[in-house]
Amino acid sequence: MNTRRVLRTSNVLLLLTGYQMHWFDSQLQRYRISAPGILNVFVLACIYAGCFNEHFQPSALLKTLLDVSPFLYGLTRLQLLLSIKVFAYAIYASVRAVGVAGEITESLPMTIISARRGCLKRELIAYLLLFSTFVVLLCFGLYIGYEMQFKLPPLQHIMIGVALFLPHLVLAGALRFYCIFAWLTRERLRQLESEVEQLLSESKIKTELQLVANSSSVAVTVAASNEDNLLKPLQQLAAHFGNFFDHLQRSLLLLLGVNANCLLFGFYTYVYFSNTWHVLFDDHMRRVFYAGNISIYACIGCDYACLLLAQSLLEQQRFQFLDRLNSALAQRNTLPKRIRRILKDMRYTLSNCFNLKFLSIWRFNVANFAVIQLIQLLVVALIVTCHYLNDAILQTNERFDSNDEDD
């Protein structure tokens, strides 16, 4: 896998989406501030400011939204309030995280491995983690454009939507930034595991040669092994990746909150549209609504799937590495004391230094993340159900009141 190409691709993507202002210098293997990146963020900020202002101008779309559902209008205002904080914090957090990311990139090998099928597959997975959500969004966009005969809606409506979507896009860069570095860390652990395998093979050969030499009284010279070059890179990788997660954890938590509001918006509109509002639209606009509504769940689900895939593969590689170290340490008589001590230190590092926790409380793994999402969905379903039942009761009371007046 070409690590340099993966890092450069992710850097260009995050620059274009406004999450980063730094350019990845492949020679220094670090990120440095760049004038085009600053200019790009400034232009996006100006666009966002103009779109944000449209929410406070007279608008038929917003007035209709308020008349149809004050609760839905309130969710839009809440999303707008979150968005301005998200946009500012995402840029601030990326500046802090990129410095720690530079410490990881300095320790990663940038050499191009021969293009075997396995290496190409691992590089394609890295691109999948980066671009899958954009591909899903593009597919929905093309379908919606087809249903609307590729006619753009009014400019004001576009700007109102951009004010809600752009900060979300910027903040989601933190998720992609984490995913790509989790994947590269996994590949580095895989490489270190192969080096440990080589070390154990060399140690076995040494032991056999020494036994032969002792039995035949012949002096045998064996080259010194490179066990000292294994422990320190692993410790540095664990420390740097832990710091990287610490700098990104609040961005990821903020993204969870923004996504929760989007899911509530999507579920609420879907329930009411399917039951009552659909009569106000023709068949084309109904399909447009359903496609747009489904795209909310699809894009959020795709982001979370990439996050969990990167994290689960990292955990899988870590446990595989630990199992290999444990099996090697179980063979007490075949390893010199020096190598055993180094392997024990590596096992300790893998066991204790890759335990990622949000705010030092919530352990970040697939099971805990799935539980949090389930709780979010239950809360969203409960809120939508309560509002729907409340509206149904109000309609029933109004119907009874009108019947009483007729009598």
Q: Where are the domains of the chain?
A: 3-213+224-401
What is the pLDDT tens value at each position of the chain, 407 positions in all? Answer: 788 899 999 999 999 999 999 999 888 888 998 898 899 999 999 999 999 999 998 888 899 888 888 899 999 999 998 888 888 898 888 888 998 999 899 888 876 444 466 678 888 999 999 999 999 999 999 999 998 888 888 999 999 999 999 999 999 999 999 999 999 999 999 999 988 888 888 776 665 545 555 555 444 443 344 555 778 889 999 999 999 999 999 999 999 999 999 999 999 999 988 888 888 788 888 999 999 999 999 999 999 999 999 999 999 999 999 999 898 888 766 777 888 888 889 999 998 888 888 888 888 888 888 899 999 999 999 999 998 888 778 777 767 666 555 55
- Specify the 3-state DSSP secondary structure of 140: helix
Is the whole-model pTM more than 0.85?
Answer: yes
Give one DSSP letter per residue of 53-114, joined into a string. Answer: HHTTS--HHHHHHHHH-HHHHHHHHHHHHHHHHHHHHHHHHHHHHHHHHHHHHHHS--PPPP
Chain-centre distance for alpha carbon 53: 30
Burial (0-12, 13-18, 19+ Cβ within 10 Å), 342: buried
Half-sphere exposure of 242 (CA within 13 A, CB side): 16
**Both ends of the chain: CA-CA distance in Å?**
80
